Each structure stands twice: as structure tokens, then as C-alpha cells.
A and B are shown apart, each in its own frame.
Chain A
Amino acid sequence: MSEAVASLSEVSRTYGGVPVLESVSLAVEPGLTAVIGPNGSGKSTLLRVLVGATAPTAGEVRHPDAIGAKPIGYLPQRVPFREGFTARETLAFYARLVGDDPDAALDRVGLGDAGDRRVEALSGGMRRLLGIAQAVLGDPSLVVLDEPASGLDPGMRERAFRAAADRADGDTAVVVSSHALDLVDDHADRVVVLRRGGVAAAGPLDRLLDERDAADARELYRVVTGETGALPGDEGEVPEGDGGGDDGGDEGEIDGGDTEPDVHVTGVSDR
């Protein structure tokens, strides 16, 4: 059994008195963990609590094995970089804080040729790749990516997910939230299924598939949540430019702006 890089114990979080996360206990181990669930199930809030961007209203978050100068890497659902700066300048700001090389980071995600383009001139997919490059700067033990494949075309989705999966090894835990269940099937070691702010199922993907007698992640999702998952390539709910995300202060779990009916909490604020 691997050591947990991070753990949540009985974590709850409310907004405006309305529960978004309820008594979530979880151990994050090295490898790629995919957090899946319907819109409004608490995925983004769970990830924000995990990285410390949001304080829980109850429970405890620990990072026992997240070590180093930068123990945690984080990419919010809405890529937040300041406009007016080029991709290289943006990464250089972060790289300088951890003594990393921004050009190498750009190359790692295939943006080496786009370094001189301003952030606002990048496509949504390229901004997301830039966000992934930022998140893995400094070689953190825990990398948390909120919908890294959101709003991307099929090629970019695969590239973004692969960039995330490549970081997951024996020492590094990568946690991604996603509706791209085909990519979850291909890359995830473990899965956490959220439903209405609680953990409906969690564990190694293979074990959960066996236990639930499911053929793949999509069927597992349907069995556990009672809903159909997004079709392959359907994670493009967020239009390019990320205007429909649920992060950056609008933490109401409007996961990407699609229209599934099971929206648990909408429009609540983080501030």
C-alpha cells in the first residue's frame, strides 16, 4: 500500500449555509486519481479544499507526503493568468519562484513555439496547457488539475491528459477532475465518484469496475450516480477562453456550464 500524499478527513464545506461537500474522507496516493461526478457534485470545491485554496468548514486536510519547495501544483478550472504577459513571461514569473526553467516547462507541454504569444492570444486549449506547465513547475509531490481537458478538441484533450498522467509516478500524486470518462478509462489509476457533495465510490479503477460489474468508467459513472456520463469528447463544455468555469471566486460548482439537470448548488460565491 502506498503512502498517502494527502488526505481529507471528514471534510465539509458550505456556501451560504448550503452544503457543497459533506463529510468527505479520502486518501490521495501516488498515481493518477480522477475525480468524476455530475455538475454540482462538489468536484471543484473538493480540489480547492485539497490544495488549501478554500478552507473547509469542518474536517481536516493533511499533506503528509507533499514535500519540497513547492509541494503542491494547482490548475484551477478557469485558467487565471494575467493578461498582457506572454506565455514565457507568465511561466518565468512562477519558475523564478522555484528556480525552474520556463522554456523547458513550455517544451514539456508542446508550447515551445508559442512562448512569445500573449496569454489572451492563446486558444483555450493552449492556455490550459500553459496552466498544466505552471502546475508542474518545481516538481511538486501533489499536482491538482481541475478539468485539464475541458474545452479542448480531441487531440488537445488527449495531450492535456497525457501531460498530467506523465507526472504521476511512484512519488507524485496527480488528481484531476474530469467529465472525459474515456480519458479516465485510459489514464486513471484510481477514481473518486462524487455525488451531491459526498463520495459515492472511491478506489482503484479496476477494483471499482469489478465491484460494480461495469465495463468501463462511463458505466461505472452511470451505475454509481444514476446518470449518463458525457460522451467521448464532450468535455468541451467550457468555451475557449474559459468563460464558463466555476472557479476563481465563483465556486458554485457550475462545472463547465453544461446543462445536466442534477445541479446541486449554483451561483454561490467563494468570498
Chain B
Amino acid sequence: MRGPLTGVATVFRRELATVVRTPGYGVLAVGLLVAVGGLLAAGGGGATGFVPAVVDLLLPTEALVPLAAVVLGYRALLADGASGELAVIRTYPVRVGEYVAGVLLARTVALVAVVGVPYALVGTGVWLTAAPDTGIFATHTGIDSPLLYLRFLAFVLCFGAAYVSLAAAVSALAASRRSAIALGVLALVAGVLGGDLLLLRSIGAGASPATIPGSLALTPNGAFRGLVFEHVIGVAFAPEGGFVSTGRAVGSLVGWTLLGAVVSGGALAYGRRVDAAIERVRSGIVD
């Protein structure tokens, strides 16, 4: 019999099967592994330790993870709509919220595999090659530790999940694959560069530097960077912290993730009515 989670679980299984059967995502994971491993090697290799590795990877991660997330999500909700299958699915007892939740959960699990595995492998490489004192399981000041890298990995996945959700929202709003790509690229550029440019502009306009930690946390990239500085890099090198408000930064990443889900659900739930309303306006103009 159908339970409350049947819809979510059924959509999730189908979406995950689709991801597993798409060879391109495997290529994406391998590409990410090569890129992350290459960046680490260029920065001195795993022998330098976990925190230096995080320092080397932080800036590229702010571009690579959103890129991978957008690739995973930009067609997530468009595919069924464009093929006409969404109209069929909606004749079944699956609420829009269940459908969106199933798709987003599957794509987030895919992100964990596509992004998490390469970063975990690189972390393992650091563990195997780093100096002996990096094996100490401690997080107090001045000590490098695998736990700091695990924190970094957790922040990477939360950061990526926010972008997957936002990319899915883009896919729900797009009318075609081409427009989904265009909107995805726009969201990527706005997300990666937009927040920092706005911050610089506000400081240039006279805003106090003391507002930076608060403002930084508002964008996904700023929140991610702040968390990494506060809880990974700062732990080892800067005991006073204060890079970003942890609660605000975590809330920001959760908020962006929820925003993407809500926009996705809203676009699918009300898209037909909005379309009809636009047509009514057009008809009035034509008349």
C-alpha cells in the first residue's frame, strides 16, 4: 500500500538509477579527481599536510564544486517536463513536493559520489603521504589533523548541495535545455563572483570592514569560505577566529538549499497557471 514516503522513495530510486546509468557523471568525477589531485600536486603535494592542502584547494573548490553541482542539477527537473513525462507523472498520486524532494535527494546523493569521492581520495592521499604528525587526531591550535580535512569535506558537500538545489531551481524555470544551460551558467557566475563583487562594492561605498563577517555569510561561496577559515584553516593558524558567524554561515547554506527546493516546487506547482495567466494577458493584447 502507498505510504507517505512512497512518492519520494519511488522518484528517488528512478532518479538515482538515471544518474548511475549516465556515463558522463563518472567522467565528471574522474575529471574532478584529476583537477583536485593536480592542484594539490602543484601546491606541493600531500606531504605538506591537511591544512596546507585545504589552503591549496579552497579557491579552486569555490569554482569546481559549483560547476559540478550545476552539471548535476541543471536538467534535473527539466528532463521530465521537456519530454512530457511530467504530465504523465502528475496523473499519479505524487505531490509536487514529493517529486522535487525525490529528485533533489537523488541528485544530492550523486553529488556526494561525484564530488565527495574525489575529495576523499585526495584526502586519503594526503594521509598516506603527509608528515607523521598529521596523523594525530586532534583539532587544537597548531595541530594538523585528518579531522580538519573531514570538516572541509563536510563543508564542501554542504556547499555543493546548495548549488545542486539552486541548479535544480534553474532547471524547473528553464523552458528548454539551451535556456537551462544559459541560466545555469548565469547562476554559476553570479554565485561564484557575484557575492564577492557586491561585498567589494559595498566596502568601496563606505561600508565598515566590521560588517564583512556578517555579509560574507550571506552568499553560498562566502559562507563556505568563512566556515573553512573558521573551522579548518583558522583552527590551525589563527586561534582568535572571527572570520564568519558559524550559525549564520550554516544557516545561509541551508537557506540557499531550501530556497532552491522551494523555487523548484513553486515553478512546477504553479507553472501551468502562470503560463495560462500570461496567455490571458497576451490574448488581451492581441484582441
What's the minimum C-beta distance from B180 to chain A, rounded to whole angstroms?
12
A64 contacts chain B at the CB level, 8 A cutoff: no
**Residue ID in chain B nearest A134 by CB atoms:** B88
B283 contacts chain A at the CB level, 8 A cutoff: yes
B247 contacts chain A at the CB level, 8 A cutoff: no
A62 contacts chain B at the CB level, 8 A cutoff: no
With contacts A15-B279, A16-B282, A82-B85 taken as known, whether A73 is within 8 angstroms of B91 at the C-beta atoms is: yes
Is the beta-carbon distance between B6 and A97 smaller than 8 angstroms? yes
B8-33 interface code vs A (CB 8 A; 1 in, 0 out) = 00100110011001100000000000
Is the beta-carbon distance between B84 and A80 smaller than 8 angstroms? yes
Chain B residues within 8 Å of A93, by CB: 10, 13-14
Is the beta-carbon distance between B17 and A85 smaller than 8 angstroms? yes
- Once bound together, how far apart are the Cα atoms of A164 and B87, in whole Å? 19
Is the beta-carbon distance between A84 and B94 smaller than 8 angstroms? no
Query: Could you say which of B1, B82, B176, B280 contacts A99, with CB atoms under 8 Å apart?
Result: B1
Is the beta-carbon distance between B88 and A74 smaller than 8 angstroms? yes
Is the beta-carbon distance between A69 and B93 smaller than 8 angstroms? yes
Which residues 44-77 of A have a CB within 8 angstroms of B?
A: 48, 51-58, 69-70, 72-76
- Once bound together, how far apart are the Cα atoms of A99 and B88, in whole Å? 17
With contacts A74-B91, A97-B92, A271-B175 taken as known, whether A82 is within 8 angstroms of B7 at the C-beta atoms is: no
Query: Could you say which of A72, A73, A78, A271 contacts B275, with CB atoms under 8 Å apart?
Result: A271
Chain B residues within 8 Å of A84, by CB: 17-18, 21-22
A14-38 interface code vs B (CB 8 A; 1 in, 0 out) = 1111110000000000000000000
What's the minimum C-beta distance from B2 to chain A, rounded to whole angstroms?
6
Chain B residues within 8 Å of A96, by CB: 6, 10
Which residues 236-287 of B have a CB within 8 angstroms of A?
A: 272-273, 275-276, 279-280, 282-283, 285-286
B201 contacts chain A at the CB level, 8 A cutoff: no
A13 contacts chain B at the CB level, 8 A cutoff: yes
Chain B residues within 8 Å of A138, by CB: 92
Is the beta-carbon distance between B279 and A76 smaller than 8 angstroms? no
A270 contacts chain B at the CB level, 8 A cutoff: yes
Chain B residues within 8 Å of A89, by CB: 17
Chain B residues within 8 Å of A48, by CB: 87
With contacts A57-B276, A97-B2, A271-B275 taken as known, whether A72 is within 8 angstroms of B91 at the C-beta atoms is: yes
Number of interface residues of A (CB under 8 A): 46
With contacts A57-B279, A82-B83 taken as known, whether A18 is within 8 angstroms of B286 at the C-beta atoms is: yes
- Interface residue tally of chain B, by bracket? 35 or more
With contacts A70-B92, A97-B7, A269-B175 taken as known, whether A17 is within 8 angstroms of B87 at the C-beta atoms is: no
A189 contacts chain B at the CB level, 8 A cutoff: no
Is the beta-carbon distance between A53 and B90 smaller than 8 angstroms? yes
Is the beta-carbon distance between A81 and B85 smaller than 8 angstroms? yes
Chain B residues within 8 Å of A18, by CB: 286
Chain A residues within 8 Å of B283, by CB: 14, 17, 19, 57
Chain B residues within 8 Å of A75, by CB: 88
Chain A residues within 8 Å of B22, by CB: 84
Chain A residues within 8 Å of B84, by CB: 76, 78, 80, 247-249
Chain A residues within 8 Å of B14, by CB: 82, 85, 93
B109 contacts chain A at the CB level, 8 A cutoff: no
Is the beta-carbon distance between A249 and B85 smaller than 8 angstroms? no
**Residue ID in chain A nearest B87 by CB atoms:** A53
- Once bound together, how far apart are the Cα atoms of A84 and B14, in whole Å? 11
**Residue ID in chain B nearest A271 by CB atoms:** B175
Chain A residues within 8 Å of B93, by CB: 69-70, 97-98
**Residue ID in chain A nearest B82 by CB atoms:** A249
Chain B residues within 8 Å of A134, by CB: 88
- Once bound together, how far apart are the Cα atoms of A53 and B80, in whole Å? 13
With contacts A72-B91, A74-B88 taken as known, whether A248 is within 8 angstroms of B286 at the C-beta atoms is: no
Is the beta-carbon distance between A69 and B81 smaller than 8 angstroms? no
Is the beta-carbon distance between B273 and A55 smaller than 8 angstroms? yes
Known: A58-B280, A74-B87, A82-B14. 14 other contacts (CB 8 A): A13-B276, A14-B283, A16-B282, A52-B90, A52-B272, A70-B92, A78-B84, A80-B80, A80-B88, A94-B88, A97-B92, A98-B2, A99-B2, A248-B84
Residues of B in contact with A (beta carbons under 8 Å apart): 1-2, 6-7, 10, 13-14, 17-18, 21-22, 79-85, 87-88, 90-94, 175-176, 272-273, 275-276, 279-280, 282-283, 285-286
19 contacts between A and B (CB under 8 A): A14-B286, A16-B282, A17-B286, A18-B286, A57-B280, A74-B88, A74-B91, A76-B84, A76-B87, A76-B88, A81-B85, A82-B79, A82-B80, A82-B83, A93-B10, A96-B10, A97-B7, A134-B88, A271-B176
